[in-house]
């Protein structure tokens, strides 16, 4: 799996490419954790390059959303352009209503620009 990331003014954008499964999920988890460690609490996860996702990938997304949304960071995770197979996994897990999903990175990034980050607690 190839993972690229880009820090923007309002958020960070992460673009994994390939299959997100038990072999590759730790790579994505490490990339998302590294961003959180650098105080990037607002992350756009562009899934347009992910062809398939297993429960291991789902676990990484759920963990990242919890990490970014906690009271200390006041952030969020936005998903972009998941493919049909990835959408099926999200629907089976009942996460379509919990995670914000956008059609393009530009829309997801703009959604962060529209809403200021929640106040961080010490």
CA nearest to 44, candidates 120, 112, 119, 94: 112
Query: CB-based burial of residue 62 (10 Å sphere; 0-12 exposed, 13-18 middle, 19+ buried)?
Result: middle
The pLDDT, as a whole number, for residue 117 is 56
Sorted by where each begins, the domain ranges of the chain are 2-114
**Per-residue pLDDT for the chain (122 aa), expressed as one digit of tens each?**
999 999 998 999 999 999 999 999 999 999 999 999 998 999 999 999 999 999 999 999 999 999 999 867 779 999 999 999 999 999 999 988 889 999 999 999 999 887 655 555 44
Q: Pick one of 3.40.1390.20, 3.30.750.24, 3.20.20.410, 3.90.1150.10 as the CATH number of 2-114.
A: 3.30.750.24
The pLDDT, as a whole number, for residue 71 is 65
Q: With the C-alpha atoms ordered 49, 57, 6, 70, is the resulting torsion angle positive or negative?
A: positive
């Amino acid at each position: 799996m190839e993972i690229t990331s880009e820090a923007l003014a309002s958020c960070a954008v992460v673009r994994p490419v390939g299959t997100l499964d038990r072999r590759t999920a730790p790579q994505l988890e490490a990339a998302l954790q590294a961003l959180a460690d650098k105080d990037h609490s607002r992350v756009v996860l562009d899934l347009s390059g992910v062809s398939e996702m297993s429960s291991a990938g789902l676990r990484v997304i759920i963990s990242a959303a919890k990490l970014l949304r906690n009271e200390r960071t006041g952030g969020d995770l936005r998903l972009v352009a998941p493919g049909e197979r990835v959408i099926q996994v999200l629907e089976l897990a009942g996460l379509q209503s919990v995670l914000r999903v956008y059609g393009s990175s530009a829309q997801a990034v703009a959604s962060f620009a529209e809403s200021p980050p929640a106040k961080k607690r010490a």
